[in-house]
């Protein structure tokens, strides 16, 4: 693809399965290519269910470990890849476009939505217990049947409802002791959700805390108390984390020059981005771009 890095694989939602806005893909089909082992970006969401095997998975420059019966949740536009497992393994993939699942505000906030909070808290991995495996096996078997055997509007409607049930079950598993922590739904949690929503839509041009506190109707002190309690970070640090992540994605994931990236992300001068990036990562943009590992 013109203007894109040769080291990154790109996948568009129009290429999902049968050209539908959703798909369920078996291990056998996934293994016909090497796409899982190359750094890649997608403009759609992916659920990877690792049923067998152990290995390492990298999502937006963060390393995760997977073992048998692990679910990895990948949001659109996240750079990710897997290292070849050192044992026999099996993986199933469920993919879908964001607009297919987000039909109201509740879906947007709770079914499958990831922002910088997920990187801070490591919330993209779910470890399955025996009862969860049995339950999700039943759901995914119906999803396979709908995907491969049904047609027309009935297939889309049925797949939507089975996918919602799958995601709701994933959400419920995050509250279990063996799973990673999830934000409890209280007033502070709602504020964090609103802050992250606002940040995701504005981080390219708005990087002052005052913009977000004004929109949220909070004082800087109130927002700081919430982010420090949950993330151990100030609001400014959370904003910086998101901007740095985007710079990394663009440096490694596109053929854009640092100068172009700097202006896209609201820096007055490219040298300002260079200083900003080095301060937060210890590398210059050029050093990071040519690095051997993601």
Q: Would you say residue 23 has pLDDT above 50? A: yes
What value does the mean pLDDT of the chain take? 85
Across the range 73-100, mean pLDDT stands at: 88
Q: Would you say residue 290 has pLDDT above 90? A: no
Q: Would you say residue 232 has pLDDT above 90? A: no
Tell me what pLDDT residue 190 has: 78
Question: Are residues 91 and 30 in contact, defined by beta-carbon separation less than 8 angstroms?
Answer: yes
Ranking 103-107, 172-176, 205-209 by mean pLDDT, the lowest is 172-176
In angstroms, what CA-CA distances link 260 with 226, 251, 263, 273, 275?
35, 10, 5, 11, 16
Ranking 136-140, 173-177, 207-211, 235-239 by mean pLDDT, the lowest is 173-177
Total residue count of the chain as it appears in this document: 294
**152: its two tokens:** 């027309």
Across the range 228-233, mean pLDDT stands at: 87
Query: Tell me: the pLDDT tens digits for 161-200?
Result: 999 999 988 878 765 544 444 444 467 877 887 898 899 8
Which domains are seen in the chain, by residue range?
9-173 (2.60.120.280), 187-289 (1.10.10.60)
Across the range 201-226, mean pLDDT stands at: 95
Tell me what pLDDT residue 110 has: 64
How many whole angstroms separate alpha carbon 280 and alpha carbon 240? 8
In angstroms, what CA-CA distances link 111 with 103, 153, 154, 169?
10, 22, 22, 10
Across the range 204-229, mean pLDDT stands at: 95
Question: Are residues 283 and 223 in contact, defined by beta-carbon separation less than 8 angstroms?
Answer: no
Q: Would you say residue 14 has pLDDT above 90? A: no
Tell me what pLDDT residue 84 has: 76
Tell me what pLDDT residue 180 has: 41
Q: Would you say residue 215 has pLDDT above 50? A: yes
In angstroms, what CA-CA distances link 96 with 41, 159, 161?
14, 10, 13
Q: Would you say residue 22 has pLDDT above 90? A: yes
How much is the pTM?
0.77
Instruction: Write the burial class of residue 158 (CB in 10 Å: 0-12 exposed, 13-18 middle, 19+ buried).
Output: middle
Across the range 215-225, mean pLDDT stands at: 96
How many whole angstroms separate alpha carbon 44 and alpha carbon 106? 19
Tell me what pLDDT residue 178 has: 47
Q: Would you say residue 153 has pLDDT above 90? A: yes
Q: Would you say residue 1 has pLDDT above 50? A: no
Query: Tell me: the pLDDT tens digits for 131-141?
Result: 999 999 999 99
- Beta-carbon neighbour count of residue 249 at 10 Å? 19
What confidence category does residue 108 fall into, taking pLDDT thresholds of 50, 70 and 90?
low
What confidence category does residue 90 fall into, taking pLDDT thresholds of 50, 70 and 90?
very high
């Amino acid at each position: 693809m013109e203007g894109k890095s040769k080291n990154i694989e790109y996948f568009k939602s129009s290429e999902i399965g049968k050209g539908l806005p959703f798909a369920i893909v078996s291990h056998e089909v996934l293994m016909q290519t090497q796409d899982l082992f190359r750094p890649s970006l997608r403009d759609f969401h992916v659920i990877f269910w690792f049923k067998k095997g152990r290995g390492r998975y990298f999502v937006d420059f963060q390393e995760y470990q997977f073992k048998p019966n692990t679910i990895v949740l990948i949001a659109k536009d996240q750079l990710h890849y897997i290292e070849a497992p050192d044992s026999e393994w099996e993986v199933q993939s469920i993919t879908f476009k964001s607009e297919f699942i987000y039909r109201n505000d509740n879906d947007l906030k709770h079914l499958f939505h990831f922002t910088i909070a997920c990187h801070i808290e490591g919330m993209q991995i779910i470890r399955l217990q025996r009862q969860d495996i049995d339950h999700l096996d039943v759901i995914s078997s119906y999803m396979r049947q709908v995907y491969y055997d049904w047609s027309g509007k009935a297939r889309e409607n049925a797949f939507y409802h089975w996918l919602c049930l799958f995601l709701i079950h994933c959400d419920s598993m995050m509250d279990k002791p063996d799973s990673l922590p999830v934000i409890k739904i209280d007033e502070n949690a709602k504020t964090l959700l609103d802050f992250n929503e606002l940040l995701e839509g504005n981080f390219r041009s708005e990087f002052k805390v005052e913009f977000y506190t004004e929109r949220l109707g909070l004082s800087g002190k109130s927002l700081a108390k919430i982010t420090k309690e949950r993330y151990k970070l100030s609001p400014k640090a959370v904003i910086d984390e998101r901007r740095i992540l985007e710079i990394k994605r663009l440096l490694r994931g596109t053929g854009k020059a640092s100068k172009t990236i700097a202006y896209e992300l609201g820096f007055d001068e490219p040298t300002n981005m260079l200083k900003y990036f080095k301060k937060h990562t210890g590398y210059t943009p050029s050093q990071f771009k040519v690095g051997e590992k993601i």
